[in-house]
Structure 1
Amino acid sequence: MWRRLSPRRICLGIILITAVAILYAAFKASSIIIPKACTDDQTTRIFDNLCNLYQSQAVGGNLCEVICTSKSIIYEDCLFKGKGKKVIAATYNSKKIILKSRNERLEEFELLFSANDKGGFAPPEMDYDSFKSMFKSHMEALMGMKLVDSEDVLLSKMWTSPILQNDELTPGEMNSVWTLVQQSEFNYLKYFHGAQFLPDIYGSCGHFYAVEYIPSGKILDPSLLSLSEQWDSAPWPNRAKIGLSLMDLIASTETFYSEILHLCDVKPDNFGVTEDFQVKAIDIDISFFTPQMRDYLQQPDCTADEECDFFDCHGACNKSTQKCLDVRTNNNFQSVCSDILMHHHTYPGLLRNPPAEVATEITELLDKCVNPSREEKYIQTPSITKTFQRLHSLLKESLQIR
């Protein structure tokens, strides 16, 4: 016969189980390697290596002179951790800029040249026309589509210094532009330079490129605030203006070029806000035009739709063949609704606490955006739907409410 346990023994048992669970969790946590934050010494080493390459003519770019000789680009802070993209804050002509590269060292990229004993690089066994032809083929593969630009126009568009007629890039410059176009964000920023929803790009040195500094700010990314501050922060008019600009950005991704640019990593800190509440996409590494998007979605085997998702770009599974279809089932607007405009987890949602006059309809529109009707679920529709247009109009109307 079982003996009835006393309340004291039950309590001690619960405490013991809890203690074991805490110790196990602590052990598991200790085995997780947390990426180390960068240091000033590491950034100094990056600049030293870059300038050594420049002095040996192994790299080039319009910013090498101001980084390495006049030193008018002044280091402020390093903003990266571990083995991720190298991001460095600096000032140039009293303006804050961001220097970026996927890798710390030039040798970590696929290079056109092999190193020689003098610290430079031996030129490839190809003539300049062959290089231009290879460059265009490479760019078309990276962009996933045919480009209408001639070889000369394309190279001039992607290089950060003027190329005069009949001039040729030096081996160091060829090496530099080759490493730059291996970085998808650089390709978008440089090829579509001047697009309203992208930050300005100022130039490059070697494998590093410099862009406009546009922080997310506490309105769009209030992660540094307490939960109560998040809910109470930022007057509605400011958030509505940012919401409108974000929606205009989404519309631009489907109209600025012949193919839709799919944003597959949508989160507040991947967008920046200017002083006049204009939103720009400041991290578009995981973004693809439709031809590339189809390739990424179609690759895996599957048994369920979610297994075909590529970050925020959702796919669909053909259950009979157990293969992912080559179609995206959501759009950029739906991703922004679920990850930025609406409340989720610890993020309060950009459009939280709207004026009472529009609150109910805004809530309904956001819910319809994230949860389309069953008939629409597996049909990719453009972002600019009736739901999009009505929400855009409603945000404009809300700015008139006093």
Structure 2
Amino acid sequence: MALLRWMRRRAKCCCMTCCGVFVFIIASLALFGRYLYKKEHCTDVESKQIIEGLCDLYSQGEVTGSLCSALCESRDLHYQTCTNYRKGKKVLFLTCDSCIPGKTSVSVVLKMKTDLSERDQLDMSHLELDTEQRQKDYVREVEFLVKNSFMFLRHKDMSKHKDILSFAWGWNFHEYLKNSNNRQKAVVVASSSLWSLTEQQEYLMSRDLYNYSFIPRIYGTCGPAYVVENTQTLGNYEFEMFKGWPHSWKERAAIALKLIHLIKDLDNLGQKLHLCDIKPDNFGLRDNGEVTLIDTDCAMFERNLLEQFNHTNCTKHDDCDFFDCRGFCDTKTKQCLLERTNNNMQSLCEDVFVGYFPKMPTGLLRDPPGAIKVELFKLLQECSNPVVETERHNARQHAQPNTVKKLQELLLRSIVDLS
């Protein structure tokens, strides 16, 4: 009996200890989660302070831009909400009453790379601006730097642009100087504001590719901040545990076809554009059904991507990866090869069409009609995890054109069958 009581006490003690440890772990995780939430999550107070800080700089004559007046004087831009921005650029959602002529209000996004105090400023204090000629020399120096920014982005000759500063700013640079009361100060303020924009990858790429429909429209700028059209993120089309399947197959299949066309377009820009951070939240959808690229901070033209691989030492393939752009490690030389082993289409299938669980798709092409379920699953597996005869073991491969063609045909057929 004594032994039995001892065993019961021992079991009870162990149980209480385990419960205590479990509670401690849960509490620790909750506290850590709360810490991360507070650390990463934006707040309305801070976001409004960003706008006020920008307007303070504008009122002090330190920044300028085509939308500064609407943001800070007429107050045609109204703050709505924000997204997490602690580790990346600031992203604020607003409505704009004057961005589109004839439209009462339109939803827009204000973006800015860093804190205002850390913005890239043009340091050309060594140049005197006390004469008109010296001011012209200053502007020529700025033109040279801005052209170099475009060259670095795409290695593209920008000499065809007679007025590179106005093209890059989206506002008439020289007209601004001409209409300023203090031209000497205006040269510095305009140049600094433009420079803080061209040092941001996404802004520069949006200006460079402005005539492509997949690039969100830039409505204007103010200092280092720029305002673009707001398009619905495809993250809204992902499966969520308590929402079930809110979007029809026909709707999702149509979007998938548009995404495939977009990916093909990116191969025909003179130089391939590689999307190295592919996820639903980085694609947008306009009201007319057009798809857009919401975030291009990790998009790189081919030459720049290869240079990224060129400067990387390695012992395994993962060492050569630049986010979703997979590289290949030559284990003999310990150097990354100058090529991407997968492609945009493979990443699109893996991260958008299939989703997080390959064996049970939760992505855009989840829950297809029963008639195509088996064939679709097979094609998605071939696309997201291609099996290609090669000596390159453990390296992610390109999605093959024939697989993509079959996938397009299957999606199109499924849409027609449901019509």
**TM-score bracket for this pair, using the shorter chain length:** 0.7 to 0.9
Q: Is the 8 A contact 1:194 1:200 kept in 2?
A: no
Residue number among 361, 367, 370 corresponding to 2:384 in the alignment: 370
Q: Secondary structure at the match of 1:91?
A: strand
Aligned partner of 1:118 in structure 2 is: none
Deviation at 1:176, TM superposition (A): 0.7
Equivalent AA in structure 2 for residue 246 of structure 1? L
Q: What is the TM-score when the length of structure 1 is the normalising length?
A: 0.86
Deviation at 1:82, TM superposition (A): 2.5
Aligned partner of 2:157 in structure 1 is: 147
Q: Is the 8 A contact 1:113 1:124 kept in 2?
A: no
Q: Is the 8 A contact 2:386 2:399 kept in 1?
A: no
Q: Is the 8 A contact 1:301 1:324 kept in 2?
A: yes
Deviation at 1:162, TM superposition (A): 2.3
Aligned partner of 1:56 in structure 2 is: 60
Residue number among 129, 133, 157 corresponding to 2:167 in the alignment: 157
Please list, as runs of the form range in 1=range in 2, the aligned pairs for 1:334-345 lying within 5 A after superposition.
334-345=346-357
| Separation of aligned partners in 1, 2:94 and 2:300 | 29
Deviation at 1:294, TM superposition (A): 1.0
Q: Deviations over 1:105-142 (max 9, x none)?
A: 0x312311489xxxxxxx9996222221122123312x
| Separation of aligned partners in 2, 1:46 and 1:69 | 16
- CA RMSD, aligned part only? 3.1
Q: Secondary structure at the match of 1:280?
A: strand
Deviation at 1:323, TM superposition (A): 1.8
Residue number among 92, 110, 134 corresponding to 2:120 in the alignment: 110
Residue number among 211, 228, 243 corresponding to 2:256 in the alignment: 243
Answer with 321-330 or 145-154: which moved more.
Answer: 145-154
Aligned partner of 2:208 in structure 1 is: 191
| Separation of aligned partners in 2, 1:67 and 1:199 | 20
Answer with 351-360 or 243-252: which moved more.
Answer: 351-360
Q: Deviations over 1:35-63 (max 9, x none)?
A: 25333332332222222222233212111
Q: Secondary structure at the match of 1:170?
A: helix
Q: Secondary structure at the match of 1:127?
A: helix
Q: Is the 8 A contact 2:216 2:228 kept in 1?
A: yes
Aligned partner of 2:128 in structure 1 is: none
Are 1:77 and 2:81 an aligned pair? yes
Aligned partner of 1:212 in structure 2 is: 229
Q: Which runs of 5+ in 1 are unaligned?
A: 116-122
Aligned partner of 1:359 in structure 2 is: 373
| Separation of aligned partners in 2, 1:96 and 1:176 | 24
Are 1:178 and 2:195 an aligned pair? yes
| Separation of aligned partners in 2, 1:76 and 1:219 | 19
Deviation at 1:220, TM superposition (A): 2.4
Aligned partner of 1:387 in structure 2 is: 403
| Separation of aligned partners in 1, 2:124 and 2:163 | 27
Are 1:319 and 2:331 an aligned pair? yes
Equivalent AA in structure 2 for residue 188 of structure 1? M
Q: Deviations over 1:348-400 (max 9, x none)?
A: 11111212222222111111112222325859987671111221121111111
Q: Is the 8 A contact 1:67 1:73 kept in 2?
A: yes
Q: Secondary structure at the match of 1:269?
A: helix
Aligned partner of 1:119 in structure 2 is: none
Deviation at 1:273, TM superposition (A): 1.7
Equivalent AA in structure 1 for residue 52 of structure 2? D
Are 1:98 and 2:94 an aligned pair? no
Q: Is the 8 A contact 1:241 1:277 kept in 2?
A: no
Q: Secondary structure at the match of 1:357?
A: helix
| Separation of aligned partners in 2, 1:190 and 1:385 | 31
Calculate percent identity across the aligned residue pairs: 30
Rate the CA distance shift 1:175–1:218 in 2: closer, same or farther, 3 A: closer
Equivalent AA in structure 2 for residue 161 of structure 1? W
| Separation of aligned partners in 2, 1:347 and 1:398 | 18
Q: Which runs of 5+ in 2 are unaligned?
A: 98-104, 126-133, 179-185
Q: What is the TM-score when the length of structure 2 is the normalising length?
A: 0.82
Rate the CA distance shift 1:218–1:188 in 2: closer, same or farther, 3 A: closer
Q: Is the 8 A contact 1:318 1:325 kept in 2?
A: yes
Rate the CA distance shift 1:209–1:221 in 2: closer, same or farther, 3 A: farther
| Separation of aligned partners in 1, 2:273 and 2:232 | 22
| Separation of aligned partners in 2, 1:166 and 1:265 | 37
Q: Is the 8 A contact 2:77 2:94 kept in 1?
A: yes
Deviation at 1:8, TM superposition (A): 7.6
Q: Is the 8 A contact 1:250 1:383 kept in 2?
A: no
Q: Is the 8 A contact 2:327 2:341 kept in 1?
A: yes
Q: Is the 8 A contact 1:219 1:350 kept in 2?
A: no
Aligned partner of 2:145 in structure 1 is: 134
Question: Higher helix share goes to which structure?
Answer: 2
Answer with 38-47 or 291-300: which moved more.
Answer: 38-47
Answer with 30-39 or 79-88: which moved more.
Answer: 30-39
| Separation of aligned partners in 2, 1:258 and 1:208 | 29
